[in-house]
């Protein structure tokens, strides 16, 4: 190493002319967001936070100051008047989470804002141009129906104010005892508008899932609103600008209400209707504010003047079971102003929501808070066309979407009036080519449709979602009985089928490609699995009767998820569910939302999502407000474990102790060791205890709790010492001698420096017992990969990544997988399916290897000491047979690119570092001969500073801009 350093220093002596400061000072500001969302409507946060991104290709660009203007109208903003807030010129490089500091905001107010910045060039401090950028394009946010609560509480204790709106429902909804397969409720009213509409905004919420319609059109494109929360704590509302949908004269507004997540046999909810005052309950709440050109205001609210029916076309709508739609029962024009609703009933006030009672009939003092939905709504994000159709049995048609996906099919249905079709959804086919549904357990995943006319009709369900690659369509065309049976069989046309990919629409953040088809396919599988498991909450799977916010799964997948998509809004929302599901003793649930703990909860690695996921959000989005919101909850969790285990080894109260779920010991294979792969449960538990305590110490420090910071840092050190004493031998081996145990001890930095290489060696030696394979489960497979690379075994990591034999990621692919499986051996050609009671083909936990791909193939690593990608490391580690890789990541501060290629013994690396950030760029030591930047030998410059050797790589401190690094093989 020493010799290398000397040679490297020598190479620095060759001159690389200092680049002149670019004359072109072009500097733009874009991608304006408020609370992570573009132009959000309905915000209930008293001091919303603003984000912008700097745009410039000039090297060394920074922001030295900014000015934000917020105005009550577009005109005022355009004329440069911030009547709500003019921040003035603020000397600061802050571009994210800039807190609104202006006048108190009122209910429904639309705030127009723009920002300009003062750049500095050349990477040096103090050489500001003195000239401000152009103003950004304007952006907006609209406040929700809030009274201004307590403005001293930054995250907004805004009190929802609904202008007298009431929760309404159909009279029959009062008696719901089994919310499963019930017809949807339809609610409506007409109203008159006298005058030209200047602006109209609607806020709505529901128990169950609702869809809002106005004058014959759907409002917005959100599906399954108000989405999934702990309904007895918090129900979300949604806001929409509907200015263009309201007319002068007669208008009609209506809502369809189905069960959604609130009832039936929904996992984690099924404690029985009546036990939870809200389970199965239905209701709808709405406020529509209209402002006329003549200055008058009009408000339409849900109240007893609405009419309802349960005699509409949706005969059943259920998350697990599907939707039954009888188009003959459609009410034409029900959502317009002309509709005659005398045949409908008068609605009831849903007093069971407004004044909930427990199952003994006594009032409960729990009133769910109405909160604005912070996360991106569930939407149709993509559409796919089928790749084929088969007929494995006469009259049974199976359409192949070519991709395991989540959502539903939009089907154009032909045939005479009364023709009935059934669409059953499944992920895989049985050996005889028929649909395999045993692994769905009790989820029926079946939609039905009956035609209303002889013309072509379009069927698309909205109150369900399915996990599937195949859809089986059967049916009968409604032609006279005297025709021979074959002519009555319904034959679908694949051209008439469209797969709608439905999920929480977090924006895509990462794109990845490399020279290996194998790795590209693996990343595709990971991303598709992510698309399949974001439905308001991070789920374990999208197909069987589960689909719950399992904490352990997202805990391991969280960083991969962040590389692939912008998860800031999604996690901000879900961490609220996590807190709502926390027990009073401090223990976190196994999954969130969790209604009443049916399970023990407090399970190592699962409950620890309550510390690990917010920490990821902080590392990647620098969200200190979220840390503040979450701190007490995380601290209570660590205190819970500590109180149960005062001697600092987590030996007692391991909840459901899922341990390293689905590890090697669960694999069925001849000759495969049946024991010894699973890490000792208490070892895993204590490792997570140390890690969570350390995170809480950091959170305490960052939120200004000095005393707690000291206390939890000490606790974490104590746990590490106890861990070493109990589990670690002087030769660096661990109790149980499992790959998983080493991965955890190394990943959570539990071992003294001198034992790390020894432990890593033991970890690698353990492959032998498994014929070169992993024996790890969902908590440790990606951690094993990360620690192999970190400890000098990068080749081993590539070997595992590229492996095609069982068990491995490649094996799933070889069996035809297009998403990541729950188990290493979900299906084995010749052997068949694993145990159908737990065999999903769309489970993201084992896909957490995506983190390794991003951190080591692309080489992107956030730096938590400068969170939110303010500073980061680009350190690709080429290996295996890869010759090139390219990753582009839309960070919260702009686009980061790492693009490398190895050719003729040289490595070239093109990197992009966004303005106002900095990076450490590392070239592997192997390629550190004759390093050049943009083809010139390296010397000091305002943009690039050589840092010497770092972790077997040669490192440079790099200012914003685009650079080409090259190095020859040593
Ligand atoms: C889920 C898992 C989850 C586990 C807990 C399963 O049914 O699908 O992914 O983490 O239960 O052991």
Where is average pLDDT lowest: 200-214, 304-318, 520-534, 590-604? 590-604
Please report the atom of ligand 1 found closest to the CA of residue 662. 12
How far is the C-alpha of 557 from the C-alpha of 855, rounded, in Å?
14
Which atom number of ligand 1 is nearest to the Cα of residue 541? 8
Average pLDDT score over residue span 140-167: 71
Query: Which residue's alpha carbon is at the smallest distance from atom 2 of ligand 1?
Result: 540
Phi/psi at 664 (nearest 5 deg)? Answer: -50, -30
Q: Is the pLDDT of residue 270 over 70?
A: no
> What atom of ligand 1 comes closest to residue 553's alpha carbon?
10
**Lowest-confidence segment of 133-137, 153-157, 878-882 by average pLDDT:** 153-157
Distance CA 585, CA 357 (A): 25
Which residue's CA is minimally distant from atom 9 of ligand 1? 540
> In angstroms, what is the span from residue 857 Cα to ligand 1's centroid?
29
Query: Is 90 exceeded by the pLDDT of residue 153?
Result: no
**If you measure from the C-alpha of residue 782 to the centroid of ligand 1, how many angstroms do you get, rounded to a whole number?**
17
The rounded Å distance from CA 590 to ligand 1 centre is 9
pLDDT at residue number 24: 44
Q: Is 163's pLDDT higher than 90? A: no
pLDDT in tens, 386-431: 999 999 999 999 999 999 999 999 999 999 999 999 999 999 999 9
Report the nearest-CA residue for atom 8 of ligand 1. 540
- Mean pLDDT (the chain) is 92
pLDDT at residue 269 greater than cutoff 70: no
Mean pLDDT of 125-139: 78
At 938, is the pLDDT very low, low, confident or very high (cuts 50, 70, 90)? Answer: confident
Atom of ligand 1 nearest to the CA of 551: 10
**Confidence at 910, pLDDT banded by 50, 70, 90:** very high
Give the contacts of 519 (CB within 8 A, at least 6 positions apart).
801, 802, 853, 857, 882
Burial class (CB in 10 A: 0-12, 13-18, 19+), 361: exposed
Q: What is the CA radius of gyration of the chain?
A: 29
The runs of H, that is alpha helices, within 221-350 are none
The ligand 1 atom nearest the CA atom of 845: 9
CA 965 to chain centre: 34
Residues 6+ away with beta carbon under 8 Å from 499: 383, 384, 385, 386, 401, 403, 405, 407, 408, 409
**Cα(400)–Cα(408) distance, rounded to whole angstroms?**
13
Lowest mean pLDDT among 107-116, 428-437, 659-668, 961-970: 659-668
Q: What pLDDT band is residue 11 in, cutting at 50, 70 and 90?
A: very low
Q: Which pLDDT band, with edges at 50, 70 and 90, does 155 fall under?
A: very low
State residue 154's pLDDT score: 42
- Mean pLDDT, range 717-734, rounded to an integer: 98
Query: How close is the Cα of 2 to the center of ligand 1, in Å?
Result: 49
Closest C-alpha to ligand 1, atom 1: 540
Confidence band of 275 (pLDDT split at 50, 70, 90): low
Q: Using a 6 Å CB cutoff, which residues line ligand 1?
A: 540-541, 546, 550, 552-553, 658, 661, 838, 843, 845
Lowest-confidence segment of 20-34, 447-461, 559-573, 914-928 by average pLDDT: 20-34
State yes or no: pLDDT of 943 exceeds 60: yes
Nearest CA to ligand 1 atom 7: 838
Query: What is the pLDDT, as a whole number, of residue 356?
Result: 83
Question: Given a cut of 70, is residue 324 above it in pLDDT?
Answer: yes
Range in 126-135, 162-171, 281-290, 801-810 the model is least confident about:
126-135
The helix (run of H) or strand (run of E) holding residue 888 is strand 884-891
- 218 band by pLDDT with thresholds 50, 70 and 90: very high
Element (H, E) at 666: none
Average pLDDT over residues 535-544: 97
* 3 state SS of 7: helix
For residue range 45-71, what is the model confidence (pLDDT) as tens digits?
Answer: 989 999 999 998 889 999 999 999 999
What dihedral angle (degrees, nearest 10) is formed by the CA atoms of 724, 728, 734, 739? 50
Cα–Cα distance measured from residue 217 to residue 336, given in angstroms and rounded to the nearest whole number: 9
The model's pLDDT over 564-618, given as tens digits with 9 standing for 90+, comes to 999 999 999 999 999 999 999 999 999 999 876 566 799 999 999 999 999 999 9
Asked if residue 118 has pLDDT above 70, the reply is yes
Q: What distance in angstroms lies between residue 437's CA and the mean position of ligand 1's atoms?
A: 19
Residues whose CB falls within 8 Å of the CB of residue 600, separated by 6 or more in sequence, listed in order: 587, 590, 655, 656
pTM: 0.95
Pocket test for ligand 1, best of 267, 268, 658 (most atoms within 8 A of CB): 658
* pLDDT band (50, 70, 90) for residue 14: very low
Distance 533 CA to ligand 1 centre (A): 13
Which mutation among 537, 552, 846 tests ligand 1's pocket best, with the greatest number of atoms within 8 A of CB? 552
* Nearest CA owner, ligand 1 atom 11: 550
462 C-alpha to center of ligand 1: Å? 27
pLDDT exceeds 80 at position 887: yes
**pLDDT higher than 70, residue 239:** yes
CA separation for the pair 502, 209 (Å, rounded): 15
Q: What is the mean pLDDT of residues 177-195?
A: 88
Cite the active site residues: 546, 822
Structure tokens at 473: 């369509």
Percent of the chain scored above 90 by pLDDT? 83
Nearest atom of ligand 1 to the alpha carbon of 661: 12
Cβ atoms 588, 609 nearer than 8 A: yes
pLDDT for 20 equals 33
At 2, is the pLDDT very low, low, confident or very high (cuts 50, 70, 90)? very low
Position 310 pLDDT exceeds 50 = yes
* Residue 806: strand, helix, or coil: coil
Specify the pLDDT at position 547: 95
482-495 burial, b for 16+ CB within 10 Å, e for fewer?
A: eeeeeebbbebebe
Which residue's alpha carbon is nearest to atom 5 within ligand 1?
658
């Amino acid at each position: 190493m020493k010799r290398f350093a000397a040679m490297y220093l020598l190479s620095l002596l060759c001159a690389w002319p200092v680049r002149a400061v670019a004359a072109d000072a072009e500097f733009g500001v874009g991608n304006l967001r408020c609370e992570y969302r573009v132009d959000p409507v309905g915000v209930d946060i008293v001091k919303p936070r603003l984000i912008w991104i700097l745009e410039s290709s000039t090297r060394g660009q920074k922001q030295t100051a900014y000015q934000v203007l917020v105005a009550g109208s577009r005109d005022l903003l355009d004329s440069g008047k911030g009547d709500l807030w003019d921040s003035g010129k603020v000397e600061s490089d802050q571009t994210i989470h800039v807190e609104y500091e202006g006048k108190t905001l009122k209910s429904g107010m639309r705030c127009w804002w723009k920002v300009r910045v003062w750049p500095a060039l050349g990477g040096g401090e103090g050489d500001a141009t003195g000239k401000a950028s152009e103003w950004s394009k304007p952006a907006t946010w609209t406040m929700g129906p809030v009274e201004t609560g307590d403005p001293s509480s930054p995250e907004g204790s805004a009190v929802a104010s609904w202008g007298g709106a009431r929760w309404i429902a159909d009279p029959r909804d009062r008696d719901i005892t089994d919310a499963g397969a019930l017809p949807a409720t339809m609610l409506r009213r007409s109203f008159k508008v006298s005058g030209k509409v200047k602006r109209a905004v609607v806020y709505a919420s529901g128990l169950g899932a609702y869809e809002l319609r106005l004058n014959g059109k759907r409002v917005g494109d959100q599906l399954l609103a108000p989405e999934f929360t702990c309904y007895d704590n918090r129900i979300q509302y949604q806001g929409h600008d509907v200015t263009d949908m309201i007319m002068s004269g007669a208008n009609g507004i209506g809502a369809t209400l189905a069960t959604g997540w609130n009832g039936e046999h929904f996992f984690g909810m099924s404690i029985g209707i009546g036990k939870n005052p809200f389970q199965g309950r239905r209701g709808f709440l709405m406020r529509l504010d209209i402002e006329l050109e003549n200055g008058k205001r009009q408000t339409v609210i849900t109240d007893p003047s609405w009419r309802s029916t349960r005699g509409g076309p949706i005969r059943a709508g259920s998350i697990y079971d599907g939707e039954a739609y009888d188009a003959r029962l459609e009410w034409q024009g029900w959502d317009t102003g002309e509709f005659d609703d005398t045949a409908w009933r008068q609605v009831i006030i849903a007093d069971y929501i407004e004044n909930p009672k427990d199952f003994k009939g006594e009032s409960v003092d729990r009133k769910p808070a109405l909160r604005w939905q912070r996360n991106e709504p569930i939407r149709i994000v993509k559409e796919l066309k089928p790749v084929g159709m088969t007929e494995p049995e006469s009259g049974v048609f199976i359409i192949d979407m070519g991709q395991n996906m989540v959502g539903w099919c939009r089907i154009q249905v032909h045939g005479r009036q009364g023709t009935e079709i059934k669409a059953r959804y499944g992920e895989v086919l049985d050996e005889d080519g028929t649909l395999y549904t045993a692994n769905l357990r009790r989820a029926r995943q079946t939609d039905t449709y009956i035609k209303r006319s002889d013309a072509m009709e379009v069927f698309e369900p909205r109150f369900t979602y399915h996990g599937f690659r195949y859809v089986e369509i059967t049916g009968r065309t409604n032609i006279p009985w005297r025709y021979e049976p074959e002519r009555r069989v319904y034959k679908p046309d694949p051209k008439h089928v469209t797969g709608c990919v439905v999920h929480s629409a977090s924006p895509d953040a990462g794109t990845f490609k490399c020279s290996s088809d194998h790795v590209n396919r693996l990343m595709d599988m990971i991303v598709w699995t992510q698309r399949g498991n974001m439905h308001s909450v991070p789920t374990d799977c999208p197909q069987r009767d589960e689909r719950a916010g399992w904490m352990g799964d997202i805990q391991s997948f969280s960083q991969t998820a962040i590389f692939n998509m912008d998860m800031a809004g999604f996690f901000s929302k879900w961490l609220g569910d996590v807190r709502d599901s926390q027990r009073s003793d401090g223990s976190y649930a196994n999954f969130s939302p969790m209604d009443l703990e049916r399970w023990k909860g407090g399970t190592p690695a699962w409950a620890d999502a309550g510390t690990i996921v917010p920490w990821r959000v902080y590392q990647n989005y620098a969200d200190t407000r979220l840390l503040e919101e979450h701190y007490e909850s995380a601290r209570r969790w660590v205190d819970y474990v500590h109180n149960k285990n005062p001697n600092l080894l987590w030996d007692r109260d391991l909840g459901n102790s899922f341990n390293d779920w689905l590890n090697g010991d669960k694999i069925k294979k001849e000759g495969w060791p049946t024991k010894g792969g699973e890490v000792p449960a208490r070892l895993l538990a204590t490792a997570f205890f140390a890690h969570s305590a350390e995170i809480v110490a950091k959170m305490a420090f960052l939120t200004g709790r000095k005393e707690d910071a000291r206390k939890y840092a000490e606790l974490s050190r104590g746990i590490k010492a106890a861990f070493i004493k109990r589990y670690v031998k002087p030769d660096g081996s661990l109790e149980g001698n499992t790959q998983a145990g080493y991965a955890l001890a190394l990943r959570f930095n539990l071992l003294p420096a001198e034992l790390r290489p020894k432990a890593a060696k033991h970890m690698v030696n353990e492959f032998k017992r498994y014929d070169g394979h992993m024996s790890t489960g969902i908590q440790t497979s990606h951690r094993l990969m990360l620690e192999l690379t970190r400890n000098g075994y990068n080749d081993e990591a590539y070997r595992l990544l590229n492996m095609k034999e069982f068990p491995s990621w490649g094996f799933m692919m070889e069996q035809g997988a297009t998403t990541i499986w729950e188990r290493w051996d979900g299906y084995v050609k010749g052997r068949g399916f694993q145990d159908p009671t737990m065999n999903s083909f769309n489970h993201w936990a084992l896909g957490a290897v995506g983190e390794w791909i991003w951190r080591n193939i692309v080489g992107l690593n956030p730096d938590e000491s400068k969170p939110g990608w303010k500073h980061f490391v680009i350190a690709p580690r080429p290996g295996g047979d890869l010759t090139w890789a390219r990753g582009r990541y839309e960070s919260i501060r702009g686009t980061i690119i790492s693009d490398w290629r190895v050719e003729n013994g040289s490595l070239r690396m093109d990197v992009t570092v966004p303005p106002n950030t900095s990076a450490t760029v590392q070239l592997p030591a192997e390629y550190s001969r004759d390093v050049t930047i943009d083809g010139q030998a390296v010397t000091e410059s305002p943009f690039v500073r050589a840092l010497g050797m770092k972790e077997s790589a040669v490192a440079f401190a790099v200012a914003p801009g685009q650079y080409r690094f090259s190095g020859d093989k040593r």
